[in-house]
């Protein structure tokens, strides 16, 4: 196991790059995931980075992702050998690696605050989305309240959009063409929550954590990730869910938390 992902990439690149004092490495982003490559990856947004082979320290190109485990792959692209940490079609594994980067969180706490339920917001849209997905409307509203405080034009610093604060790649996956349309956002968010509820067999704590930080983070940590943002978000959603159930005349669940306003 090699403990420097970028060093592995540079070592592999040296096998074919010849004697040079600097080389170009590409940081490529696709669907919220990062890879490093010796050429731009098809289907990814890539940024070129010039690295000095004589530098004492190799810069961190991963970003703040915590511990990164992966493999270096080799493939042919446009008549040349290319190395990448993403397993693209036609790739063959070369080396495994672990790279330590600063701890980071893909989550944001949400733009809404714990407060009184707001049942007048987008009544037809929430009722229809809850019926179509089989979700508890109180739960769906708790998520929307925590995410955006029902602001259809909301945009977080992480790039989440609309009432349900969907990330652009999630909007594409669920066919949400206008994430700032309240109806489209609520429909897409409800379908995502339905899928997460099925995945986690009804465990709403994990559903909320995955909605906030992503399925990958929940899988990595075997539960709610240790991100301050996610932990605060889950507590906020639980508190709001309890309040929305009471406001809608439903029996509160014993495990729900009541938070101070």
Helix (H, G, I), strand (E, B) or coil at 82: strand
Tell me the catalytic residues: 147
pLDDT computed for residue 3 by the predictor: 41
pLDDT computed for residue 44 by the predictor: 82
pLDDT computed for residue 15 by the predictor: 45
Alpha carbon distance 203, 184 (integer Å): 25
**Are the C-beta atoms of 244 and 141 separated by less than 8 Å?**
yes
107 secondary structure, DSSP code: -
pLDDT along the chain (261 residues), means of 10: 44 46 75 79 83 60 67 90 91 83 68 93 97 96 97 88 92 93 97 95 94 87 84 92 94 51 35
Q: How many residues does the chain have?
A: 261
Tell me which residue of 241, 248, 247, 256 sits closest to 114, measured CA to CA. Answer: 241
Alpha carbon distance 97, 147 (integer Å): 36
Helix (H, G, I), strand (E, B) or coil at 166: strand
pLDDT computed for residue 199 by the predictor: 93
- CA torsion angle for 11, 12, 16, 20 (degrees, to 10)? -30
pTM for the full predicted model: 0.61
pLDDT computed for residue 258 by the predictor: 39
pLDDT computed for residue 106 by the predictor: 65
- 123-247 maps to which CATH number? 1.10.530.10
pLDDT computed for residue 4 by the predictor: 46
Q: Reduce the secondary structure of 50-61 to three states and give it as a string.
A: EEECCCCCCCCC
Q: Quick one: tokens of 113?
A: 């605050």
Domain ranges of the chain: 5-100, 123-247
Q: How many CB atoms lie within 10 A of CB 53?
A: 14
């Amino acid at each position: 196991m090699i403990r420097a992902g970028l060093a592995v990439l540079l070592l592999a690149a040296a096998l074919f790059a010849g004697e040079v004092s600097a080389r170009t490495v590409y940081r490529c982003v696709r669907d919220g995931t990062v890879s490093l490559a010796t050429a731009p990856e098809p289907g990814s947004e890539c940024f070129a980075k010039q690295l000095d082979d004589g530098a004492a320290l190799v810069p961190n190109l991963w970003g703040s992702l915590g511990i990164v485990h992966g493999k270096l792959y080799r493939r042919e692209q446009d008549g040349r050998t290319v190395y990448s940490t993403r397993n693209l079609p036609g790739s063959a594994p070369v080396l495994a690696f672990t790279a330590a980067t600063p701890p980071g969180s893909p989550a944001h706490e949400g733009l809404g605050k714990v407060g009184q339920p707001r049942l007048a917001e987008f009544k037809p849209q929430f009722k229809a989305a809850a019926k179509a997905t089989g979700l508890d409307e109180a739960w769906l509203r708790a998520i929307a309240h925590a995410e955006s405080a029902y602001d259809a034009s909301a945009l977080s610093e992480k790039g989440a959009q609309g009432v349900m604060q969907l990330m652009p790649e999630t909007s594409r996956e669920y066919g949400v063409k206008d994430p700032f349309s309240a109806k489209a956002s609520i429909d897409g968010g409800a379908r995502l929550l339905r899928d997460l509820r099925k995945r986690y067999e009804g465990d709403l704590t994990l559903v909320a954590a995955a909605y906030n930080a992503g399925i990958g983070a929940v899988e990595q940590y075997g539960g709610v990730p240790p991100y301050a943002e996610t932990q605060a978000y889950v507590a906020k959603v639980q508190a709001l869910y309890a309040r929305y159930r009471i406001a809608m005349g439903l029996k509160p669940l014993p495990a729900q938390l009541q938070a101070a306003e």
